């Protein structure tokens, strides 16, 4: 129990410190007397609506990039120790790459990779 005593004390002190900082920021922070809320844009008055039209194609590109980026993270260790792995791991990584290729083919057939304004 002695080895966890320091960890417990550290946890309690960090919790007390966080709570004290929250209370202190509530006490010291300036209070606004305005009833209307406006977006802060470097001191300029906002012009127009605060909602902008966002093309959802950007989201599709971001998700596809994320998927293939994570694929690279999974394949890199496999490529480093290719000579030490067995047939089972080779079959697993082949199935993994095959599933990702099926997803890419699906995205191409659904024309998700074409960007149109």
Higher pLDDT, 108 or 38: 108
> What are the DSSP calls for 72-111, one per residue?
HHHHHHHHHTGGG--HHHHHHHHHHHHHHHHHHHHHHHTT
49-69 residue pLDDT tens: 767 777 777 888 888 888 888
SS (H, E, C) 49-66: CCCCCCCCHHHHHHHHHH
Residue 39: pLDDT band (50, 70, 90) is low
Cβ–Cβ < 8 Å for 29, 21: no
| Domain ranges (residues) in the chain | 57-109
70-98 residue pLDDT tens: 888 888 888 888 788 888 888 888 898 89
Residue 35: pLDDT band (50, 70, 90) is low
- Report how far Cα 14 is from the mean position of its chain's Cα atoms: 26
In this predicted structure, what is the pLDDT of residue 45?
A: 66
């Amino acid at each position: 129990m002695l080895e966890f005593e320091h960890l417990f004390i550290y946890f309690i002190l960090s919790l007390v410190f966080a709570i004290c900082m929250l209370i202190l920021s509530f006490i010291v922070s300036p209070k606004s007397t305005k009833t209307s809320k406006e977006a802060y844009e470097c001191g300029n008055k906002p012009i127009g609506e605060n909602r902008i039209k966002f093309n959802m194609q950007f989201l599709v590109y971001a998700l596809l990039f994320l998927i293939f980026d994570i694929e690279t993270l999974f394949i890199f260790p496999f490529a480093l120790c290719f000579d030490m792995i067995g047939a089972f791991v080779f079959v697993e990584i082949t199935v993994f790459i095959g599933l990702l290729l099926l997803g890419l083919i699906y995205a191409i057939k659904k024309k998700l990779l074409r960007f149109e304004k």
